[in-house]
Amino acid sequence: MACSIVPSSLFFFHKLTNSRYGTRTFVAMQDDCGAASATTTEQYKMKIPHVLTVAGSDSGAGAGIQADLKACAARGVYCSTVITAVTAQNTAGVQGVNIVPEDFVAAQLKSVLSDMQVDVVKTGMLPSTDLVKVLLQSLSEFPVRALVVDPVMVSTSGDVLAGPSTITGLRENLLPMADIVTPNVKEASALLGGMQVVTVADMCSAAKLLHNLGPRTVLVKGGDLPDSSDAVDIFFDGEDFHELRSSRVNTRNTHGTGCTLASCIAAELAKGSPMLSAVKVAKCFVETALDYSKDIVIGSGPQGPFDHLLRLKSTSHQSHRAEAFNPSDLFLYAVTDSGTNKKWGRSITDAVKAALEGGATIIQLREKDADTRGFLEAAKACLQICCVHGVPLLINDRIDIALACDADGVHLGQSDMPARTARALLGPDKIIGVSCKTPEEAHQAWIDGANYIGCGGVYPTNTKANNLTVGLDGLKTVCLASKLPVVAIGGIGISNASDVMKIGVSNLKGVAVVSALFDRECILPESKKLHAVLMDAVQRVK
């Protein structure tokens, strides 16, 4: 077993913690002052899972420290960093390596481990045996719950990152301390003195032989295995072999997968997962990220980085808008209605197209009767149409749909998900609108991070049952009480839109309408007429 040969506090720690971070706090509190149970509870609540990565920097940010940081961020775990080497590296290969002196690696280790409560240490590039010893010395002074060893030797481009003497250091000093070691087939072969590892059966043999060197568990990664349509990894815990299969993603963007996998395992362990679950989650995460990133292009070399946060592609459809939200987008706000589309026998996409061609400046899909799958498909199709027009698309009520289709935002009412929660889910760039009828609701919307307010019903409406009418006075009161831009809604159409715009408050930016556009035989001309009325009204107000 990993720690049975180590008569140090690391062994003591492994035995006590049983992979739950709460236990650690408990042990510390019992040792120091057994009576302070209130503080113990408080510390338990506040504990943030923490991975320390001890690895090299990759200037191209596909692998190394940079991949570790992104992987931990994606898995919701804090990551601190000790840099062992600085590499000049890009998608073509490694152009230079500058090793950080051992005493300065020791200084970094001490800075982090003496101050922060690190749960799991993950190692990557360790360019000398002395450096391995420095790390082990630090861990004996500051024990952690688990040690994940990614035995980095050769970069994906084929450049050597750890020479033969370092391999001996890894094998003899570090592996016996590891809770898991995660070699690919080439690294497994190098650690085992050049043993041939080209089949799944070889991988099992290698896993067993590596386990004999002392780590608690071994994951031999078969991503580089020739002639396999699947990505097969072998996990061995000393008793059982587990063959973990996932479909191979056909992409050039695989730089940093090893670092990412090991960091994800460390992150899951830091959260308290058992080892096999951590490995499965990590493998699934890497496969998902590779699949998502398979077409992105970063750099011109043969091996590109991938997108850990699954966000880079979404910017391509947002690029039509210069900023996340422009209040003037509220000018002619078209809100769809599944009932009226059914009544007039048209598709939601045709309705949205017509509204856009008539001058709508923002679209909200308010599909109260749609089933989830149908709504999602319609939202994806409408998003493409809105993209072409450079107009934002919001989803009414359904954060899940907005997330799934990467819509520009959502509109929420007082009984929908709170805007603050939606903001946490959607991130800072998405548009969030909140329905408000009072200054208090408007104030809360501002506090919660809304981008705009929808205020109504300005007039009675047949579209929304039992809707309270606030009138022009109610609208004005809400506008004056808030710094946020406001769009008026409820019973508004060609006949009264200019009265609404004429209330003379600068943050009233437009009108939102359902029936005035969509409960009409022809949407396009109605949209044009309403647009003209609004233009005329704002010219007069100026």
| Catalytic residue, candidates 70, 221, 280, 430 | 221
121 near 147, Cβ under 8 Å? yes
Burial class (CB in 10 A: 0-12, 13-18, 19+), 491: buried
Closest-approach residue to ligand 3NM (CB): 456
Contacts of 83 (CB under 8 A, 6+ apart): 55, 56, 57, 65, 100, 105, 108
Place of tokens 């900023």: 323
In the complex, least distance from residue 505 CB atom to ligand 3NM, rounded to whole angstroms: 18
**Torsion sign (Cα): 474, 476, 479, 482:** negative
Q: Strand 486-489 and strand 120-123: pairing?
A: unpaired
| 389 part of the interface to ligand 3NM, by CB under 6 A | no
| 527 part of the interface to ligand 3NM, by CB under 6 A | no
| 308 part of the interface to ligand 3NM, by CB under 6 A | no
User: Cα Rg for the chain, rounded, in angstroms?
Assistant: 29
- 3-state SS assignment for residue 31: helix
Enumerate residues 7-36 that contact ligand 3NM by CB under 6 A: none
Of 199 and 496, nearer to ligand 3NM (C-beta) is 496
Known catalytic membership, residue 214 = no
Known catalytic membership, residue 23 = no
Enumerate residues 480-499 that contact ligand 3NM by CB under 6 A: 489-492
User: What are the residues facing 396 on neighbouring strands?
Assistant: 411
Q: Strand 230-236 and strand 241-247: pairing?
A: antiparallel
Binding at 283: pick from ligand 3NM, Mg ion, ligand LCLJCK34, none (beta carbon under 5-8 Å per type): none
| Catalytic residue, candidates 166, 254, 340, 461 | 254
| 457 part of the interface to ligand 3NM, by CB under 6 A | yes
Contact footprint for ligand LCLJCK34 (CB under 6 A)? 333, 335, 364, 366, 396-397, 411, 413, 416, 433, 435, 454, 456, 464, 487, 489, 512
Of 222 and 454, nearer to ligand LCLJCK34 (C-beta) is 454
Q: How many CB atoms lie within 10 A of CB 13?
A: 19
Known catalytic membership, residue 256 = yes
Closest-approach residue to ligand LCLJCK34 (CB): 413
**Interior CA angle at 237 toward 231 and 238, to 5°?**
125
In the complex, least distance from residue 472 CB atom to ligand LCLJCK34, rounded to whole angstroms: 16
The single-letter DSSP state of residue 170 is I
| Catalytic residue, candidates 56, 60, 258, 490 | 258
In the complex, least distance from residue 340 CB atom to ligand 3NM, rounded to whole angstroms: 8
| Catalytic residue, candidates 3, 72, 79, 259 | 259
Binding at 433: pick from ligand 3NM, Mg ion, ligand LCLJCK34, none (beta carbon under 5-8 Å per type): ligand LCLJCK34
| 477 part of the interface to ligand 3NM, by CB under 6 A | no
Place of tokens 């004056």: 480
Of 249 and 458, nearer to ligand 3NM (C-beta) is 458
Known catalytic membership, residue 163 = no
Part of the chain binding ligand 3NM (CB under 6 A), chosen from 97-105, 282-290, 424-432, 462-470: 462-470
- What the block records as the tokens of 393 is 């698309």
Q: By CB under 6 A, how many residues form the interface with ligand 3NM?
A: 17
| Catalytic residue, candidates 257, 260, 336, 477 | 257
- What the block records as the tokens of 339 is 């009932």
Alpha helices by DSSP H, listed for 398-466, are 399-405, 419-426, 439-447
Of 256 and 491, nearer to ligand 3NM (C-beta) is 491
| Catalytic residue, candidates 60, 124, 256, 409 | 256
Of 238 and 413, nearer to ligand LCLJCK34 (C-beta) is 413
Known catalytic membership, residue 254 = yes
Of 23 and 444, nearer to ligand 3NM (C-beta) is 444
Preceding amide of 457 cis, omega within 30: yes
Question: 397-404 long-range contacts, Cβ below 8 Å, gap at least 24?
Answer: 397/366, 397/368, 399/425, 399/426, 400/372, 401/365, 401/372, 401/375, 401/376, 402/426, 402/430, 404/376, 404/379
| 435 part of the interface to ligand 3NM, by CB under 6 A | yes
- What the block records as the tokens of 498 is 């200019």
Of 159 and 369, nearer to Mg ion (C-beta) is 369
Q: What is the dihedral of CA 120, 122, 127, 130, to 10 degrees?
A: 20
Known catalytic membership, residue 257 = yes
Residues noted as catalytic: 221, 254, 256-259
| Contact residues: ligand 3NM, CB under 6 A | 335, 435, 454, 456-457, 461, 463-464, 467, 489-492, 513-516
